[in-house]
Amino acid sequence: MPSNLKKTAFFLIFFIFIVDQFTKYLALKFLWPDKVIKVLPFFNLVYVENTGTAFGMFKSLGSAFFIILAIITTLFLVYLLVKDSTNWLVYSLIISGAVGNITDRLIYGYVIDFIDLHIGGFHWPAFNVADSAISIGIVLFLYKSFKK
């Protein structure tokens, strides 16, 4: 991987990580334990402690399981990032999100979610900046995979 691309990738990872942790700090400070801020008719800010994985699934597996799985996955993605510079953006987004959520699990034992999108009474499961980065990275990966 070229040096300038490596710097860009690691800057992006660091930047998204900082934004993620700062927004979670704000959620903890201003939304905890049960405040809801209505931003738009379809968008609220809430405070949710997610002990599961995506969309709160698999809560029974415990935080240690998710920490170990996320660390192994992140290390593998860092390896891929170094070896495959053509997908640096995909890997950087997923790595930054994984590190953000690992940090939460290590500090709190759960992930702080605070973005609540909804239509009427249907609410998408709450999520955060790290989840958004992971999701965008996965969508880009799938797009690139099917584009070939």
Catalytic residue numbers, as ranges: 113, 131
- Pull the structure tokens for residue 78: 């860092």
Surface-to-core class of residue 121, CB atoms within 10 Å of its CB (0-12 exposed, 13-18 middle, 19+ buried): exposed
**Cα→Cα distances 129→2, 20, 23, 98, 114, Å:** 28, 5, 8, 11, 9
Task: Read off the amino acid at residue 140.
Answer: L
C-alpha span between 136 and 138 (Å, rounded) = 5
